[in-house]
Copies of this chain bind each other. A is one copy, B any other.
Amino acid sequence: MTSQELAQTFTALCKNGEFEAAGRTYWSDDIVSREPMPGDMAEIRGRKDVEGKGVWWYANHEIHSTKVEGPYVHGDQFLVRFTMDVTPKGGQRMNMDEVGLYTVKDGKIAEESFFFGSSS
């Protein structure tokens, strides 16, 4: 599977709402996940902890709708844009607009790095 094919399949799963399946299928065991914020979320390493981040996120956000655009491909990297209408637990309903930058190595996603839009 080329990086282009992985990008297409990963993004198709996300467009179908299967975000967790997309991660489980394509993250490498050594996946590094980066968020543009200080603290514990800034960098998480390893499949188990990154899956834990997902479990936490889904338990603490009510998702009203999502829009997934992409992939945008360059060599072994690709981008996917996520626009979400969500309510964080106990918080205000908000629009999230972010882009994931994924780096493929040996047929798996070795790194994911999220970029936040101004409206996030």
Contacts and interface: CB of A to CB of B under 8 A. Distances in A.
Nearest to A120: B72
A117 interface: yes
Main secondary structure of the interface of A (DSSP, over half): strand
Interface stretch (A20-28, A56-64, A73-81, A85-93): A73-81
A99 to B, nearest CB: 5
Contacts of A8: 118
Interface residues of A, number: 24
A35 to B, nearest CB: 8
A99 B118 contact: no
A34 B73 CA distance: 12
Contacts of A71: 117-118
Contacts of A34: 74
A54 interface: no
A95 interface: no
A8 B117 CA distance: 11
> Chain B CB within 10 Å — which of A69, A72, A74, A97 has the most?
A72
A99 B79 contact: yes
